[in-house]
Structure formats: C-alpha cells, structure tokens
Amino acid sequence: MDTKALAEYLFPDVKEMPQDVEARYPKRELPEGAKVTRIAPSPTGFMHLGNLYGALVDERLAHQSGGVFYLRIEDTDQKRSVENGVELIIQAFRNFGLVPDEGATLDGETGDYGPYYQSHRKEIYHVFVKSLVERGLAYPCFCTEEELSEMRAKQEANKENFGYYGKYAKCRDLTLEEIEQKIQAGIPYVIRFRSPGSIEHKIFHTDLVKGKLELTENDQDLVLLKSDGIPTYHFAHVIDDHLMGTTHVVRGEEWLPSLPMHLQLFQAMGWKPPKYLHTAQLMKIDPETGAKRKLSKRKDPELALSFYRQIGFPNISVLEYLMTMLNSNYEEWRMANPGEPMQKFPFNTKKMGSSGALFDMDKLMDVSKNVISRMSAAEVYEEVASWAEENDPEFAALFTRDPAYSQAILSIGRGGKKPRKDIGLWQDVKPYMSFFFDELFEPDYGQMPSLETNMVRQILKDYQSVYDPADDGSVWFDKLKEMCPKYRLCGDMKTYKKNLEDYAGSVADLSMVLRVAITGRAQSPDLAQVCGLLGKERVLRRLEQAAEHF
Ligand code: GLU
C-alpha cells in the first residue's frame, strides 16, 4: 500500500508537516523542576467535586514549583457541551481561588500555547493524523455500527477480548482502490490507529499516585478521528499535552485503563509522555446501606460544586478539607500552623492515597467550623452578608441593618485559644443568632428547667429590678447567687450536689430560666455578653414577655 498516496488522498488540504506545528510550540522556558499542569474539563455545565479535587493538585504542583497551570477546554463532544459551560468552569474555579495562568478566559484565551479550545485545533490534529497515515500507523475504517456489534457478538461467542484489533480489524488491509471507492460512494469513516501491540505483552509504568504498575499492552486499533473529523479524547490528549508542554497529567483513575493506549500513541509519535497522576475516585458511605460507593451525580447533591455555595460552606473550608483528603499529613501541618495560608503547605504527591478517597460530610463540617472559628468577626460578617444576599435576602436585610451590631454578635467567643465553633456554614448563622433580632425571636419556653411555675414567674419578675447592664460577668453571676435563697435554690454547685434534698434547684436552674427567657433557647453564648448586646430595654421586655407566659 502506498501510504503516502493514501495520506494525500485523505487529507489533501493539510499542507503543514508535524515539524511546522511543533515549531509553533517551543519548549517552555521555566526553572529547573518547574511543573506544567492543566485542567481539561468538558463544558457540560456540571462542575463536580472531582474537578476541584484534581484542579487543586494541578494548581499546587505547578505553583509550588514555579511552573504553569493552564486551562484547556475539551469541547470535542458537541452533544455534551452547553452554551455557558466555559464560563461556569472559569467561575467555579475562580470562586475557589484557582486561577489558571493561561488558557481559556471569559472573553477568549490567553497564552502562547493555544488555541486552548480543542474545537479550534482541528487542523492541528489533522496534520498529525496525516503523518501517522503516511507512516502506515493509521488507516480509515468504514465499519458500520452493525458490523461492530456483529464483531462483538462473535467475540463473545468465542470468549475472546472485545474490540477492534488484530484479525478483527478488517479495514486494516483495504487497498487504496477499495478505500477510494468507498469514499467516493460517500461511506462515512473514522481514522484508526494501527496498534503494534499485543495482549501477550506487559508494559511497566510508574504512576505518581498509583505507584509501579504492570499493565497489559494495548492491541486495540483505537479511533483517532471520528467520522466528523473531530479527534477522540485519546488522540487529543496526546497531541495537546505534548504541544502544550504538560509535564504532569492529573486525572481521575477512570482513565487508567486507557493509559496503555496513550503510552503507545506517545511512542508512535516519538514523544516523551508526561508523568501521570491518576487520582482516587471520590467515595462516600451510603447512608442507607452503610457500604462505600462512588459519589453519584444522581444520588448525591454534594457532588456538585454549586451545592457548597448554596448551603454556604466557605470555599476555603472545602479546599481545606480536600487538602486533608489529598495529603495524609495536611491535618498535622494545619494544627502546627493554624494561621498560615494553605499555600505554605509543602504539597507532596507521595502523600496522596492511591485508593478510594472517602468524602465525609461530617468531617468537612468539622474542618469548616475550625476554619470559620479562625476568621475575624469582620470577615465572617462580609461572607455571611454576601451569601445571604444571594440565598436568603430576608435575613440579609436584618443582618446588614446594623453592621456593628451583627459584628459584635459574631465577636462573642471569637479569638483566643479556644474560640467558639458554632458555625460550620453560612446557613447556620441565621439559626445561631436569630434571637438577637426581634423579628426572628421565637422563644421556646418548653426549655425552662423544671421549677414550679410560680417560682419561674417570680424569678423573671424579680430579675427585672436586679438587672444592671453595667455588671460585668462576675458581678452578674454574684447577683444570681444572691437571689437563690429566696427560691430555695442553692447558690453553690458543690453544696447543692451534696444536699440535693434541701433545695428546689440550683443557681444553674436560675440562670437557665433567664437564658430561656432572654434567648428563647437552652443553649446560647455567654448570657452576660448576650444581654449587653441586646440592651437593657430589650432584656426587660423579654423577661416580662416570659413572665406573662407563665
Ligand atoms: N475532559 C476529560 C475529563 O473531563 C479530561 C481528563 C484529563 O484531565 O485528561 O475527564
């Protein structure tokens, strides 16, 4: 077969040679050891946790080494692309502070290694396919869907491997005349790679996450170009990552089975493959079955990145949690360096787990409570205000009515060695502080301690004349103790515990009566501080309101 003639026949318009294209993609000038990574999502409109998980690794590897982190849009599958898909991708990553150095942008693209949209690279792919055809390493295949399923049935019956390979690759040996005839007859075709491999052979590969792997060599004549001339993922991956100078490919482990194909293609092209990191699948414990399973788009709202924003997890909490999943020593580092930005952590691929990464919402919540407890009241205020404006405008109006008031509430128990950890998500802020707003104050008097009703009423009445907003925490408590004898309550907890029968209750019950009356609930931050913020008038009003209830 005259493969040169075939190449010319199939691609008459392709005039460039591979070396012409390569000349436009010179080797990047970067410091020794600098890594070039990319995120290569498809604009399907759905951004998931896995995208972020991988992107975080990409960003860290590149930026930690003085390298480049770029964004390539894999839009070769038109059916799966949505109109604002690219915008969604860019915004989603940007929200999490992951800003690529080059690649697709909101209004086009930036960087010297583009185009960064695969849909704009058709000519480039054709140059390289043409050269493969010319070298006898690729050929047109006219097999129809029916023929392929017949082949599959035969393979099944013979208990043979599935796929287009060896003796089953019937278009491998068509003559130039046959090919010309079919094309002239308008029969659609794809271009396949002529695999030189055999499943009798093993190949060895070291993945930076999975470690040393022994894999079966590829023998499949995989499709390089689909019948519309658009490349498959496999081919585009090899061409793009080579030309764009990617040094490290971080991708989900679902791509591991196709790695032998990719390595073979790199070899056929005469190029050095990048290093690969196949990241573990994100798993969860199914709440119904208790079994570990993959996070699913259909069943698990938490797979969508938009979910975290909606319920108000700070982006930094999500990132922080993903880091704990990604590097086994991250938590330890965080404990030793509570104030440092995440970027100071020495990210290490050797610390990445090689199998199923378990995503645990409770753990994320804990991480988030810690993250939020380290923020200043002003920061929390800003975040809550902007979250609430988007998600709960009614609360936003109350919350931002008096910024100093809201910030003072958020300041209670903040700072110091043991900050309060009430808030894990912005959605929690409203229930946490609702009693500070009369509009949201819905007291649950059912929380009152079991004292006689008359006594509760009396305490509420009496306290109105004792209350002085000027009292500091200890004077405030001394006053409560002084009130105790009148109601046969014990002012000292130790004495009380030893002589339970002698008393109707203790000072703890008394303060609970006040807490429930003033905050409407049994749990609240420090009551003296709460009263200070509510102001005398409102405290008295709430005491009276409760007294009237009993
Ligand atoms: N478009 C592919 C995906 O979204 C990219 C995989 C890769 O990073 O190579 O899974």
Instruction: Please give the C-alpha separations between residue 126 and each of 61, 99, 135, 186, in angstroms, as whole numbers.
Output: 32, 31, 14, 20
How much is the pLDDT for 28?
A: 96
What phi and psi, each to the nearest 5 degrees, are found at residue 545?
Answer: -55, -40
Q: Is the confidence at residue 550, as pLDDT, over 90?
A: no
Mean pLDDT score of the chain: 95
Which CATH code for domain 445-549?
Answer: 1.10.10
Report the share of the chain in percent with pLDDT over 70: 100
Cβ pair 203, 260 in contact under 8 A: yes
Ligand 1 touching residue 237 (CB < 6 A):
yes
How much is the pLDDT for 148?
A: 96
d(CA 519, CA 527): 9
Query: Rounded to two decimals, what is the model's pTM?
Result: 0.88
Q: Which residue has the tokens 């599935």?
A: 162
State the Cα angle at 123 between 266 and 104, rounded to 5°: 85
Ligand 1 touching residue 220 (CB < 6 A):
no
d(CA 234, CA 213): 20
Q: How confident is the model at residue 435 (pLDDT cuts 50, 70, 90)?
A: very high
How much is the pLDDT for 404?
A: 97
d(CA 425, CA 366): 10
What is the DSSP secondary structure assignment for residue 66, as one 8-state letter? T
d(CA 500, CA 508): 13
From the number of C-beta atoms within 10 Å of its C-beta (0-12, 13-18, 19+), residue 84 rates as: exposed
Retrieve residue 445's tokens. Answer: 């008097």
How much is the pLDDT for 79?
A: 85
Q: Is the confidence at residue 391, as pLDDT, over 80?
A: yes
Please give the helix or strand (H or E) that residue 212 lies within, else none.
strand 211-216
How much is the pLDDT for 470?
A: 86
What is the per-residue pLDDT across 455-499, written as a single tens digit (0 to 9) for each?
999 999 999 999 998 888 888 899 999 999 999 999 999 999 999
How much is the pLDDT for 80?
A: 87
Q: How confident is the model at residue 46 (pLDDT cuts 50, 70, 90)?
A: very high
Q: Which of 80, 255, 266, 305 to mutate to test the pocket of ligand 1 (most atoms within 8 A of CB)?
A: 255
Q: Domain limits of the chain?
A: 4-12+123-279, 31-120, 304-373, 445-549
Q: How confident is the model at residue 505 (pLDDT cuts 50, 70, 90)?
A: very high
Q: Which residue has the tokens 């005039």?
A: 15
What is the per-residue pLDDT across 332-356, written as a single tens digit (0 to 9) for each?
999 999 889 999 999 999 999 887 7
At the top level of CATH, which class does the domain 304-373 belong to? mainly alpha
Ligand 1 touching residue 260 (CB < 6 A):
no
Separation of CA 170 from chain center: 45
How much is the pLDDT for 516?
A: 98
Q: How confident is the model at residue 1 (pLDDT cuts 50, 70, 90)?
A: confident
How much is the pLDDT for 200?
A: 95
| Minimum-distance ligand 1 atom for the alpha carbon of 74 | 1
| Minimum-distance ligand 1 atom for the alpha carbon of 38 | 8
Take atom 5 of ligand 1 and give the residue whose Cα is closest: 40
Take atom 1 of ligand 1 and give the residue whose Cα is closest: 41
Task: Establish whether domains 4-12+123-279 and 31-120 are of one fold.
Answer: yes
CB atoms within 10 A of CB 444: 11
Separation of CA 2 from chain center: 51
What phi and psi, each to the nearest 5 degrees, are found at residue 291?
Answer: -95, 155
d(CA 482, CA 489): 10
Q: Which residue has the tokens 């590897």?
A: 61
Q: How confident is the model at residue 43 (pLDDT cuts 50, 70, 90)?
A: very high
H-type alpha helices, 66-140: 85-95, 122-134
Name which of 514, 489, 484 is nearest 499 in CA terms: 489
At the top level of CATH, which class does the domain 4-12+123-279 belong to? alpha beta
What is the per-residue pLDDT across 242-259, written as a single tens digit (0 to 9) for each?
999 999 999 999 999 999
What is the per-residue pLDDT across 252-291, written as a single tens digit (0 to 9) for each?
999 999 999 999 999 999 999 999 999 998 999 999 999 9
Please give the helix or strand (H or E) that residue 102 lies within, else none.
strand 102-105
Ligand 1 touching residue 74 (CB < 6 A):
yes
Ligand 1 touching residue 251 (CB < 6 A):
yes
Q: Is the confidence at residue 231, as pLDDT, over 80?
A: yes
What's the gap in Å between 250 CA and the centre of ligand 1? 9
What's the gap in Å between 39 CA and the centre of ligand 1? 8
| Minimum-distance ligand 1 atom for the alpha carbon of 51 | 4
Question: In sequence order, which residues have a C-beta less than 8 Å from that of residue 408 and are 6 or more positions away?
Answer: 377, 533
Sign of CA dihedral 447, 449, 451, 456: negative
Q: Which residue has the tokens 């306290």?
A: 463
Position 299: which residue type? K
Q: How confident is the model at residue 78 (pLDDT cuts 50, 70, 90)?
A: confident
Question: In sequence order, which residues have a C-beta less than 8 Å from that of residue 139 and are 6 or more positions away?
Answer: 6, 133, 171, 172, 174, 191, 192, 194
What is the DSSP secondary structure assignment for residue 165, as one 8-state letter? B
Q: How confident is the model at residue 8 (pLDDT cuts 50, 70, 90)?
A: very high
Range from 79-93, 109-123, 400-414 carrying the lowest mean pLDDT: 79-93
What is the per-residue pLDDT across 167-182, written as a single tens digit (0 to 9) for each?
999 999 999 999 999 9
What's the gap in Å between 72 CA and the centre of ligand 1? 10
CB atoms within 10 A of CB 418: 8
Cβ pair 305, 311 in contact under 8 A: no
Q: How confident is the model at residue 417 (pLDDT cuts 50, 70, 90)?
A: confident
Architecture of domain 31-120: 3-Layer(aba) Sandwich (3.40)
What's the gap in Å between 471 CA and the centre of ligand 1? 63
